[in-house]
Amino acid sequence: MKAFVVERYGKNGLRAAEVPVPVVGPRDVLVRLCAAGLNPLDRMVRDGEFKLLLKYKTPFVLGHDVAGVVTRVGAEVREYEVGDEVYSRPRDLRIGAFAEYAAIDQADVALKPKSLTMEQAAALPLVALAAWQALAEVAQVVPGQKVLIHAGAGGLGSTVVQLAKHLGAYVATTVRGQDREKVRALGADEIIDYAQADFADVLSGYDVVLDSLGGDNLARSLTVLKPGGLAISVVGPPDAAFAEQIGQPLLKPVFWLMSRKVRARAQRRGVRYAFLFMRADGARLKALASLYDGGVLRPVLDRTFPFDDTLAALAYLEQGRAKGKIVVTMPIAAPRGPGAESRLQRQGGA
């Protein structure tokens, strides 16, 4: 099959290649991909930013967001059948969305939202899970709280804005001026054009900040929190809890030192800091699918590229100007296979 593999770490380390179709384990489903979403995490993994933590053996297939059709199931799989339309964020060390096929653990898979196209579904898994884990699990947002979301027009931010409103929060976000109406339509209550005003001068008394920019932006985000408030960053620095998440508790002291500066700043202000590295969760994707099918959430796409242009799509992502998710699409729709019609009928599909 054709795939885009990281041959060596670095900006020029990703290339097109012919590789074997993945082996299907007893708990796996083999998915013929129809579309794959791109994320900043793809660039970070390609460049080796996590190579000491996530020990991929080169060459490996890149890509974290999958939408496609099941073509084979492992011996222990009971919940999925050949022909099922699914979406997934495969777990770390088993990624591989930039390929014609991917073998994915059944625990990381969910039936895709019935109301969405494959392209729309491929845009969702990583950002939807990250949004849920940040707001509902880490921050435990409740109605009436105030949440600041940076880069609300971006791939992650546009999802977090919608979910924060669904959870009942008052939502502020930072954007370029031309994106004001877009984020207002997503539910933002207060919008700061970062070219015209400094959010740290405008906002105060917030319960939660979700930071996707890092550096000075994270440091200034601490100043808008009320006492006891929480700043969550998806770009780091990692904290000690991350060592437990990736199964390397011996790295706790390392991450403690890496996050010491921001944690000290937070402590001086009487607020808290947490690093979020989202994890695969098929069960949560099932629940999120109902929110998309119910119209509570909607996908936000910037543009799509043909699968053959995956390198160009990643280069476009790196420009940092996308307003929503970037998706690559396969040239031929996946075969539906035996069993698809009966499953669609049980779901109420046409």
Rounded Cα distance, 21 and 28, in Å:
13
- With tokens 């808008």, the residue in question is 224
Would residue 270 be called left, alpha or beta, if left means φ above 0 and alpha means ψ between -120 and 50 degrees? left
Rounded Cα distance, 58 and 180, in Å:
42
Residue-level pLDDT at 343: 40
- Helix, strand or coil for residue 16? strand
Pick out the chain residues at pLDDT < 70. 332-350
Nearest Cα to 289, choosing from 164, 168, 111?
Answer: 111
- CA 204 distance to own-chain centroid: 28
Residue-level pLDDT at 188: 98
291, amino acid identity: L
Residue-level pLDDT at 350: 29
CA angle 138, 141, 147 (to 5 degrees): 100
Encoding tokens for residue 71? 């073509």
Torsion of CA 94, 99, 104, 108, to 10 degrees: 80
Contact 212, 150 (CB under 8 A): yes
pTM of the model: 0.92
Residue-level pLDDT at 244: 86
Residue-level pLDDT at 321: 84
Helices 125-132 & 155-166 angle (0-180, nearest 10): 40
Encoding tokens for residue 316? 């476009």
54 DSSP 8-state letter: S
Residue-level pLDDT at 334: 42
